[in-house]
Structure 1
């Protein structure tokens, strides 16, 4: 009788372990940050303070979920901030002074975001233009279109239908709508990526595009889908921005591309693709938002928020590189040990529980 010994964990299990450790470390850092700030200023954890943090983090976390889909395929989208601005202004201009409801606003915003994502996706996936070049270009193009449409005008909250403003400031059972929407989207996307074969193909593309191609994965279609989905979520975020703030100028989310990428990478999504989760990205968004609130409470110059975000981005990318090298080293040692282990002699069976049979 031959015993079947358990095989050592493969690269996937090692990466999953690292991801859980990263997400846990982010959560611990978040708790420590909140506890220390509360000790300095007890009003930080007031009901209004906590609500403001979650409301402000909701839009960033929603963008981070969409960016995760793109980044795990070894790409990036730097245009999300300008897409938010375009959607918020165009939708606000369309509904101002009318009785249009939430559905019309959401459909229009999602359509604009999907169109922007489609352009990015077609250029990156089918024309093979580097994602950094494409999305940096569309960032400025969308900004230009937004300023042309706005022409110095401003959308005032008094002109926006109350139903839309209620989406950004209302609640159900005391819980604001915005965090509920973000959590629902995060859970749906997270479940899709892990439970469906087409979702797991996003990770396969990021891990090894050549291997994914040999396995029959439709790489171009998946990359295109990632960009369109990211655009859809950016469009939804633009509508939520309008609903949250009411008053909108041209390009209100300028510079948010850095925050979104930082949230994703800090949350454990490898910038080289193939690794990460939407849950970690959302945690990263919450951490970055909390840091901003802490600086305000402690009356520290807002310049330091951008500096801290940049530092976190550098540390996260460096950590990813160190972890990748460590995982590769461990796998090489295991493979070498497996090749050098002596095979049982002919006619001799493997021992079971230390006893030869």
Structure 2
């Protein structure tokens, strides 16, 4: 993975934009619809095999289990749209969850304070990664992979095997993870609100459209006067803030936290984003698709548990879906380039 500043594509790819763009968008919309259809079929099939899958508790568990992954997929999407990647989100979640747990353990701090602390920690981590990628021009894969190990090392050195117990967490914090409104848990409502707000920003505001421009053609974006470095830095800060927020919600959801919370979630988050139609090469995709990808992966895991299938198959299925999504992205890119060339000749 390279940064948006390092390897700009040929400017020709930007000319003749309507023909190739319409083809790419139609394919991506078809993928989102296919993911939604696969999700419905998966839920229906699992329900037929075990009706308890869609009872009140089953639906509640499915919503709760997918909420944090949907949040992380939204934050990751904003980075991937700019033709970058953030592999440190899982470690940021773990650091924020443990730090928030240590901060409120044995106190009566409010949930709002915990959320602010988690977001602040995530923003700091995101700004460090973003500064190295955008201003230092270090490849995003190298930076964020290094941040992953650095944060994990700091977290383990700080924790020394300590575990935060739910009994020491204030009820106001735990109620954030277990409370509900009209029977709907808080966490899915929070995820839906952030999802809708991010989608609206990316579609409506100039800053959101500029992120797509950077991912589509960094060179054209530079010539158009778009502040690429600041936008990429802001994307990483947002991804970090969302990861820190997710860490605070992780504490509220589970109560008991250890140093390696969310360990290994990085690739799951990236898989959800790519499977959801956000091209790994940047410039295309929506956060709605990323959320569908997160829901699909979470539902697969829950369905395998209900059907008493070995958890190994969840990783295998996730890997197959990721390969298929990347292959589809490549096919779309080749077809779009071919369509643009033919249009330019005419």
TM-score by length of 1: 0.91
Distance 1:184 1:17 in 2: 26
Instruction: Report 1:201-280 matches (<5 A).
Output: 201-280=210-289
Q: 1:66 is matched with which residue?
A: 75
Q: 2:182 is matched with which residue?
A: 173
**Structure 1 position 161 matched with structure 2 position 149:** no
Q: 1:92 is matched with which residue?
A: 101
Q: Which moved more, 1:198-207 or 1:43-52?
A: 43-52
Q: 1:36 is matched with which residue?
A: 45
Q: 2:111 is matched with which residue?
A: 102
**Structure 1 position 282 matched with structure 2 position 291:** yes
Distance 2:258 2:205 in 1: 40
Q: 1:348 is matched with which residue?
A: none
Distance 1:308 1:8 in 2: 35
For residue 185 of structure 1, the aligned residue among 178, 194, 197 is 194
Q: 1:355 is matched with which residue?
A: none
**Structure 1 position 295 matched with structure 2 position 304:** yes
Distance 1:287 1:162 in 2: 32
Instruction: Report 1:308-327 matches (<5 A).
Output: 308-327=317-336
- State the shift of 1:330 in Å: 2.5
Q: Secondary structure at the match of 1:152?
A: coil
Distance 1:331 1:156 in 2: 58
Q: 1:3 is matched with which residue?
A: none
Q: Which moved more, 1:267-276 or 1:10-19?
A: 10-19
**Structure 1 position 330 matched with structure 2 position 339:** yes
- Conserved 8 A contact 2:73-2:294: yes
- State the shift of 1:9 in Å: 4.7
Q: 2:158 is matched with which residue?
A: 149
Distance 1:330 1:220 in 2: 31
Residue deviations 1:213-240 (CA, integer Å, cap 9, x gap): 0000000000000000000000000001
5+ long unaligned stretches in structure 1: 1-6, 339-357
Distance 1:198 1:106 in 2: 25
Q: Secondary structure at the match of 2:283?
A: coil
- Conserved 8 A contact 2:19-2:339: no
Matched residues, number: 331
TM-score by length of 2: 0.94
